[in-house]
A = this chain, B = another copy of it.
Amino acid sequence: MTSVGTVTAQQMHFAQPLPLRSGATLGAYWLTYETYGTLNADKSNAVLVCHALNASHHVAGVDTAGPEGWWDNLVGPGKPLDTERFFVIGINNPGSCFGSTGPMHANPDPAAQGKPYGADFPVITVEDWVDAQARLIDRLGIGQLAAVIGGSLGGMQALAWTLRYADRVRHCIGVATAPNLSAENIAFNEIARRAIITDPDFHGGHFYAHGVVPRRGLTIARMIGHVTYLSDDVMASKFGRKLRRGAEEGFSFGFDVDFEIESYLRYQGDKFSDYFDANTYLLITRALDYFDPAARFGGDLAKTFAGALAKYLLVSFTTDWRFSPARSRELVKALVTNRQHVSYAEIDAPHGHDAFLLDDPRYHGVLRTYFDRIAEEFA
């Protein structure tokens, strides 16, 4: 297994505004994407990879943005999602801060006088992202995707594809995902947003003009995220009560770093606030909160998915308390009720929600087998 090597991100411009679920529209916009592998003659081997909160179009290989893609362990020659057989598309969603049009880009509204969108970037939903992705798939000349795959929020996009473009997706692979967020999930998102919005350097979302960044808020948001991505178990084994200075030196009897977990969280928070956009954080967490396709079916998931034509693979991880196995099982139950095709794997992994990014052999084994089966359809 090797890497896809050096890749170059591409940009595609869309002059036609995108109507959004809110009733607003996103004006002319750019989407950033990468592709790996070769589209076959009948264009039947395309797989779309949807990203979660803190990721982008840069799924595999090394690009000008720097280090290897966020799912490089999954996507490449000979890897479970094998780029020698599949044409893989990584796409960055609008509202992101990694290339596609987002809050830090110029607002085309003449009233904005060329200033960045900032807080005026429209609130965008999972369904809106899927619509934006579908337009890019159109322009690539692909009528039907072999599969859409994503983890966490990316899995929600994969699910939404099968509801919104039922005849354009043969397989939906949702990893560590859920049919909607629980109250507890929304609560953590809300705390993170409040930390950002109440940071004096946020300036109502128009901080770009002030030459500052709401670092404090972003740092707190990321620290909260990290605690919820990890399991209690993995935190216990990785950090436990280990002191940064070693047990002999004991406590500082102050509020600086004593425990390694404190050091880890501060480092992760600081690093994040160096590169992540605060408005993007708000937009993406709100998209998470709002996703709830069953809402207009009175919460009935079976009814929600009744018209879907895709085959599904769902994967969850035992220690994931953010998107727990119980949430995946709700989806499985609905699909089984409808006598739809669904495979489900519950992986006994200690890493919590983060497990979907790691290369646990059982997890990757399940994905490899599933993609092998998909490849037989066009072999």
Hey, which bits of chain A sit against chain B, CB under 8 A?
Answer: 21-24, 122-123, 180-184, 186-188, 190-191, 193-195, 197-200, 216, 219-220, 223-224, 226-227, 230, 232, 235-236, 238-241, 247, 251, 253-255, 258-259, 261-262, 265-266, 269, 282, 286, 289-290, 292, 295, 321
Measured between beta carbons, the chain B residues less than 8 angstroms from A186 are 241, 259, 261-262
Contact of A282 among B180, B182, B255 (CB under 8 A): B255
Measured between beta carbons, the chain B residues less than 8 angstroms from A261 are 183, 186-187, 190
Given A186-B261, A220-B220, 16 extra CB contacts under 8 A:
A21-B253, A182-B241, A183-B238, A183-B239, A183-B241, A186-B262, A187-B235, A187-B262, A187-B265, A190-B261, A190-B266, A194-B220, A194-B223, A195-B220, A199-B216, A200-B200
Measured between beta carbons, the chain B residues less than 8 angstroms from A251 are 22, 290
- The smallest beta-carbon distance between A213 and chain B, in angstroms, is 13
- The smallest beta-carbon distance between A203 and chain B, in angstroms, is 14
- The smallest beta-carbon distance between A312 and chain B, in angstroms, is 23
Contact of A220 among B187, B191, B232 (CB under 8 A): B191
- What is the bound-complex CA distance between A188 and B235, given in angstroms? 12
- What is the bound-complex CA distance between A261 and B183, given in angstroms? 6
Measured between beta carbons, the chain B residues less than 8 angstroms from A184 are 227, 230, 232, 235-236
Measured between beta carbons, the chain B residues less than 8 angstroms from A23 are 253
Return the chain B residue nearest A252 by Cβ: B123
- What is the bound-complex CA distance between A206 and B220, given in angstroms? 22
Measured between beta carbons, the chain B residues less than 8 angstroms from A188 are 227
Measured between beta carbons, the chain B residues less than 8 angstroms from A193 are 255
Contact of A183 among B216, B258, B259 (CB under 8 A): B259
* Contact across chains for A183 and B289 when beta carbons are under 8 A apart: no
- What is the bound-complex CA distance between A123 and B252, given in angstroms? 9
* Contact across chains for B241 and A219 when beta carbons are under 8 A apart: no
* Contact across chains for A123 and B254 when beta carbons are under 8 A apart: yes
* Contact across chains for A190 and B253 when beta carbons are under 8 A apart: no
Contact of A266 among B22, B194, B262 (CB under 8 A): B194
* Contact across chains for A191 and B239 when beta carbons are under 8 A apart: no
Measured between beta carbons, the chain B residues less than 8 angstroms from A258 are 289
Most central of A216, A230, A255 by chain B CB within 10 Å:
A255
- What is the bound-complex CA distance between A227 and B228, given in angstroms? 12
* Contact across chains for A219 and B198 when beta carbons are under 8 A apart: yes
* Contact across chains for B197 and A195 when beta carbons are under 8 A apart: no
Return the chain B residue nearest A279 by Cβ: B255
* Contact across chains for A24 and B235 when beta carbons are under 8 A apart: no
Return the chain B residue nearest A196 by Cβ: B255
* Contact across chains for A241 and B187 when beta carbons are under 8 A apart: no
Which 9 residue pairs are nearest across A and B when measured between Cβ atoms? A22-B253, A183-B235, A123-B253, A198-B216, A183-B239, A183-B261, A190-B262, A191-B223, A187-B227
* Contact across chains for B219 and A182 when beta carbons are under 8 A apart: no
- List 19 interface pairs A-B (beta carbons < 8 Å), by A numbering: A21-B253, A123-B253, A123-B254, A182-B235, A182-B240, A183-B235, A183-B236, A183-B238, A184-B227, A186-B241, A187-B223, A187-B261, A190-B223, A190-B259, A194-B220, A194-B223, A195-B195, A199-B216, A251-B290
Contact of A292 among B198, B241, B253, B290 (CB under 8 A): B241
- What is the bound-complex CA distance between A188 and B223, given in angstroms? 9
Measured between beta carbons, the chain B residues less than 8 angstroms from A123 are 253-254
